[in-house]
Amino acid sequence: MLDSLTSLRVLGPKDFPAVAEVVDRDPDVDVFLGSRVHSSKLAPARLGGELWGYYDAGDLSSLCFAGANLVPARATSAAARTFADMALRRGRRCSSLVGPSEPVLTMWDILRPEWGPAREVRSSQPVMVLRGEPAVAPDPHVRRVLPDELDVLHPAAVAMFTEEVGISPNGNDGGAYYRARLTELVRAGRAFARIEDGHVVFKAEIGAVSPSACQVQGVWVRPDRRGEGLSVGGMAAVVVHALRDIAPAVSLYVNDYNHAALGAYRHVGFKQVSTFATVML
């Protein structure tokens, strides 16, 4: 229960200055929430969910986005427990919990009896950041995907999603939402690939973008081309494009058991700054 010194409420546009101050304290880690906050200014129609604020001694200290995903930021243990209680009262509306590992796992301990079992819990996902030039030469063949190349990119994107998440993105809507989101990224110049003979052999997208950082997602190398180092040069190329045109820092998170990816990102120059956890429902 909240005591007289703490409170929780749903935040709105008038709270934007205070929210921006909180989310910008660690912009390399809270890229997703920073992107939502800065792009929407907390206007409900643009935010894509609710934003919950936890106040300690009258000061906004912790945040949690509640939409397709449940995403805590700067959440203390007390705040995480309060967010989980709020989620229980609201009812499950999300497909996953994702964010800094301690609050996510604290929330899941409370939510699991009613929301579990999880499809998968990934409890240790290094968050890595690169703010300067990559340590290796970029692959000159990795470039932005053009709008008329969407049909070339789409099969690779579906293969990556299915391999990473364990289910196809072509769900009840036949994949319409997923294709629309991919189209949006291509049109925004945030989808990158190496394309040979009409087929993608390496790809990655820039998903969330805040004023301080952007987040790489969907990194994939065609299975029969793995082991050739395509991800190293490819990621270096993505970093160069991103730093030049999108944001002053490039962030990503990766499963700790994916040793090949971790090695590639370290080779490029990424350094670990935090650890995420993801609970897939």
Return the minimum-mean-pLDDT range out of 31-40, 158-167, 210-219: 158-167
Domains along the chain? 6-117 (3.40.630), 143-274 (3.40.630.30)
pLDDT at 211: 97
User: Which pTM was predicted?
Assistant: 0.94
pLDDT at 2: 65
- Which H or E run contains 9? strand 6-10
Give the type of residue at 223: P
pLDDT at 173: 85
Residue given tokens 């081309």 in the structure block: 225
Residue 176, CA distances (Å) to 158, 172, 185, 186 in order: 12, 9, 14, 15
**What long-range pairs does 173-182 form, CB within 8 A, spacing at least 24?**
179/150, 179/154, 182/150, 182/153, 182/154, 182/157
Whole-number average pLDDT of the chain: 96
Contacts of residue 62, Cβ cutoff 8 Å, sequence gap at least 6: 22, 53, 54, 56, 72, 73, 74, 75, 76, 79, 80, 83
> Residues, the chain, total?
281
Q: How far from the centroid of its chain's Cα atoms is residue 267's Cα?
A: 22
Q: Between 6 and 182, name the one with better pLDDT.
A: 182
| Average pLDDT for 46-61 | 96
Are the CB atoms for 80 and 107 separated by under 8 Å? yes
pLDDT more than 90, % of the chain: 95
